[in-house]
Amino acid sequence: MKFSAPRETLLEPLQAVIGVVERRQTMPVLANVLLTASEGEGLSVTATDLEVELVARVDVAVDKGGEITVPGRKLLDICRALPEGAAVSFSLSGEKVTVRSGRSRFTLSTLPAGDFPVVEDIKAQQKLALPQELLHRLIEKTQFSMANQDVRYYLNGMLLEVAGAIVRSVATDGHRLALCELTVEGLDSTPQQVILPRKGVLELQRLMGGEGACSLEIGSNHLRVALPGIQLTSKLIDGRFPDYERVIPKESDAPMLADRVQLAECLGRIRILANEKYKGVRVELKPGSVTVQAHNPEQEEAEEEIEVQYDGAEMEIGFNVEYLIAALRALDDDQVRLEFRDSASSCLIQDPERRDCKYVVMPMRL
């Protein structure tokens, strides 16, 4: 196995896949990346943690094809440390790999490619083509509401649902819920729901952001997303996602309309003196205004009143201020619409006109 390439050409795929290489792993080979070189096809770099697999491909000059696994982070650090524009050659001899650039030479240990776990066929039940920016929006608008290490394992991820021309993402940690729904012209998908694990969601969000299409292959146990130059395959969470439609409150007769940025900044100031553990604030609604209050165990208090459009009944409700701020930051419009039914009910937050994103925050006792 022998190939050569400019430093930047090697750096790009290594940086793309390194996120799934765990520093602590159960199998030594999982600390390695699989390098596969073939004449005419270039180089592919594969990394996995047994839950998420990333494969990046680049064009390099291959003198002799082959495959081997090498320590991922060490190879990345070597490429990073070389000067810009440096030419790098890579050769395998016996059980050692030699990386040369100028007067530098590095010899790395290897493990056999046969020991590296690769997901070959995911037995796709349906294949979809989506604009990349659409899938990125679905993830960006909901991922922050995923649970993290919750015993209800099915909450530690994001629901991806397709039905006809509609693609929907939903995430909840049991205290808040985020939903984003988009219509894709020309899409005609079979109704299907899958739960993508947290790490798969975050890696996918990191990789996306460009233009063009991406393809999705949905199997019973895996989801595969192909982007230009890189492919992500993630295991799916085997569980039943909560019935999110029951959680979303009905729109009230007297919604509150406010300046989104002004309200978020107000909450940000009040958060400073909120209880560090519970992050609770009291929201006091009156016709024409809303007052936000917080206090903490050190007997410190914060209060701020802002003008809003509201002509409903007076009420007081407690909320986790972090959840409110996260929802407000996820929206796009200058104005925001908040629905309050009573002091014991959840709050529905959305754009006044565009209703493709909905955020639900449960009340809390103060």
Please write the tens of the pLDDT for every residue from 188-199.
999 999 999 999
Give residue 302's pLDDT: 98
Has residue 95 been placed in a domain? yes
The answer to whether residue 301 scores a pLDDT higher than 80 is: yes
User: Same domain for 221 and 289?
Assistant: no
The answer to whether residue 252 scores a pLDDT higher than 90 is: no
User: Same domain for 132 and 95?
Assistant: no
Has residue 121 been placed in a domain? no
Looking at residues 324-335, what average pLDDT do you find? 97
CATH number for 78:
3.10.150.10
Domain endpoint, select from 76, 94, 115: 115
User: Same domain for 258 and 356?
Assistant: yes
User: Same domain for 187 and 99?
Assistant: no
Has residue 202 been placed in a domain? yes
**CA-to-CA distance for 296 and 273, rounded, in angstroms?**
6
Which residue carries 């004449």 as its tokens? Answer: 39
Q: Mean pLDDT of all residues in the chain?
A: 95
Give residue 87's pLDDT: 97
Domain endpoint, select from 68, 85, 115: 115
Give residue 26's pLDDT: 83
The SS3 assignment for 22 reads: coil
Give residue 31's pLDDT: 96
Q: Are 65 and 39 in contact (CB under 8 A)?
A: yes
Total domains present in the chain: 3
- Per the structure, the complete domain to which residue 33 belongs is given by 2-115
User: Same domain for 51 and 89?
Assistant: yes
Domain endpoint, select from 61, 84, 115: 115
Widest CA span in the chain = 78
User: Same domain for 253 and 238?
Assistant: no
Give residue 127's pLDDT: 95
Q: What is the pLDDT of residues 268-278, one digit of tens each?
A: 999 999 999 99
User: Same domain for 43 and 90?
Assistant: yes
User: Same domain for 15 and 43?
Assistant: yes
Has residue 366 been placed in a domain? no
Give residue 219's pLDDT: 93
User: Same domain for 135 and 242?
Assistant: yes
User: Same domain for 199 and 297?
Assistant: no
Strands ordered across the beta sheet of 2-6: 61-64, 2-6, 87-93, 96-101, 104-109
User: Same domain for 77 and 180?
Assistant: no
